[in-house]
Amino acid sequence: MSEPDETFEPRIVAFFCNWCTYTAADLAGISRMTYAPNVRVVRLMCSGRLDPQFVLAALRDGADGVLIGGCHPGDCHYQLGNYNAQRRVLLLKRMLRAMGIEDERVRLEWISAAEGEKVQRVCNEMTEQVRALGPLHLAAVPRREAS
């Protein structure tokens, strides 16, 4: 492992569901809760829309971590979406582990619309955890040279 880079600012892509987590992030904003700027949110209507390809694409495109936010089990606005997200992420993480990607880099959190404080806490926590792990530095996909 390379030496930890003091100036390393992790970039984390977050997939937040519209009804719960995105609203909670709005609430954190309305409440003027300050938190690390390292998390960039992509809005989905439901965590059930989450395709594991999105997580991998984010890592491939340069993210050091991925955060997925959905409603608490039982509270999904569409009833079953978060259960689907949970199962997909569980399997994806097992694959990631076998591929040498640390557990803390992909995180699934249930955050309800009232939990602005949790958005703040999770963003701060994850930023520090990923900072400690260092940049992801995925091996580049080899590109053929132009002929």
Partner 1 sequence: MQAHDGAPKIGVYICHCGLNIAGKIDVEQVVAFAATLPNVAVARDYRFMCSDPGQDLIRQDIDDGLVNRVVVASCSPLMHEATFRRATAAGGISPFFFQMASIREHVSWVTADQQDATEKAKALVAAAVRRVALHEPLERRQSPVLPDAMVVGAGIAGIHAALTMANAGKHVYLIERESTIGGHMARFDKTFPTLDCAACILTPKMSEVRANPNITLWTYADVVSVEGYTGNFTVRVRRRPRYVDEDLCTGCLACIDACINKKAKVPDEWNEGLSKRKPIYIPFPQATPPVVVVDPETCIWFKTGKCPRPCIDACERDAFDFEQQERIEEVKVGAIVLATGFKEFDATRIPAYGYGRYPNVYTSVEVERLVNATGPTQGEIVLRDGTRPQTVGIIHCVGSRDERYNAYCSRVCCMYSLKLAHLIRERSGAEVYDFYIDMRTAGKGYEEFYDKLMQEGTHFVRGRVAGVTDEATTPEEEGKLIVRAEDTLLGAARRIPVDMVVLAVGLEPQPDAQDVRRLFNIGCGAEGFFTERHPKLAPVSTFTDGIFLAGACQGPKDIPDSVAQAGAAAAEVLAMVDRGMVELEPSTAFIDPAACSGCRTCVGLCPFAAITFDHDRNVAEVNEVVCKGCGICVGACPTGAAQQHLFTDEEIFNEIEGVLAYV
Partner 2 sequence: MKPKVAFYWCASCGGCEEAVVDLGEELLTVADAVDIVFWPVAMDFKTSDVEALADGELAAAFVNGAIRTSEEEEMVRLLRRKAQVVVAFGACAWLGGIPGLANLYGRRSILDYVYGEEPSLEEHDGARPQEETDVAEGHVSLPTFDDDVRTLDQVIEVDYFLPGCPPPGELIRTAITALIEGTLPEKGSVLAPDVALCSDCPRLPSKPEKPSVKRFVRPHQVQIDPDLCLLAQGLICLGPATRSGCGAVCIAANMPCTGCMGPVSRVVDHGAKAMSAMASLLEADDEAEADALIGEIADPVGTFYRYSLPASLLHRRREPEAAGRSPS
**Which chain residues interact with partner 1 by CB under 8 A?**
11, 13, 18-19, 22-23, 25-26, 28-30, 32-35, 37, 40-46, 48-51, 53-54, 57-58, 61-63, 74-75, 77-81, 84-85, 88, 112-114, 120
Q: How far is the CB of 61 from partner 2 (least distance, A)?
A: 9
How many Å apart are CA 86 and CA 129, to the nearest integer?
21
Q: Which helix (H) or strand (E) holds 82?
A: helix 81-98
Lay out the sheet containing 106-110: strands in order across.
Answer: 39-44, 12-17, 65-70, 106-110
> What tokens appear for 98 in the block?
């076998």
- Facing residues of 13 across strands? 40, 66
Q: Which helix (H) or strand (E) holds 23?
A: helix 23-30
Q: How far is the CB of 109 from partner 1 (least distance, A)?
A: 16
98 binds, among partner 1, partner 2, none (CB under 5 to 8 A by kind): partner 2
Q: Which residues would be at the binding site for partner 2 (CB under 8 A)?
A: 51-53, 55-57, 59-60, 73, 80, 83-84, 86-88, 90-92, 94-95, 98-101, 136-144, 147
Q: How far is the CB of 23 from partner 2 (least distance, A)?
A: 23
Is the CB of residue 71 less than 8 Å from the CB of residue 19?
Answer: yes
Residue placing its CB nearer to partner 1 in the complex, 58 or 133: 58
Which amino acid, residue 144?
Answer: R
Residue placing its CB nearer to partner 1 in the complex, 3 or 108: 108
